[in-house]
Amino acid sequence: MDVNVALNRPSYLSSVRPDAWGSHGPHLGNDGDKTNCHGMVYGNSVAHTLENDVYPWYVVDLGVALEVDGVNLTNRVDMARK
């Protein structure tokens, strides 16, 4: 059984992109919302680094040492088309 151990855990981004719809902070990357990944930045469920971030990174603090079998990342659909 797959369990999302990162769900709503403390998370960190190398940079955060603010825009007219608010700040796209790291907590939005592991909020469990899989319905707002289609380029709808204003849907407020997309973590986003600055465009000039040369080495972007994302970290989730799981709180304990765990053996992780896999990581599932979903890119914004509009960004995948470019």
pLDDT at 4 over 70: yes
Please say if the pLDDT value at position 53 is more than 80.
yes
Domain encompassing residue 26: 1-82
In the 3-class helix/strand/coil scheme, how is 15-69 assigned residue by residue? CCCEECCEECCHHHHHCCCCCCCCCCHHHCCCCCCCCCCCCCCEEECCCCCCCCC
Cα distances from 30 to residues 13, 21, 39, in angstroms, run 12, 19, 16
Checking if the pLDDT of 81 tops 80, the result is no
The model's confidence at residue 25, banded by pLDDT at 50, 70 and 90, is confident
What pTM, to 2 d.p., does this model score? Answer: 0.73
Q: How many domains does the chain have?
A: 1
Q: Is the pLDDT of residue 22 over 90?
A: no
3-state secondary structure of 73: coil
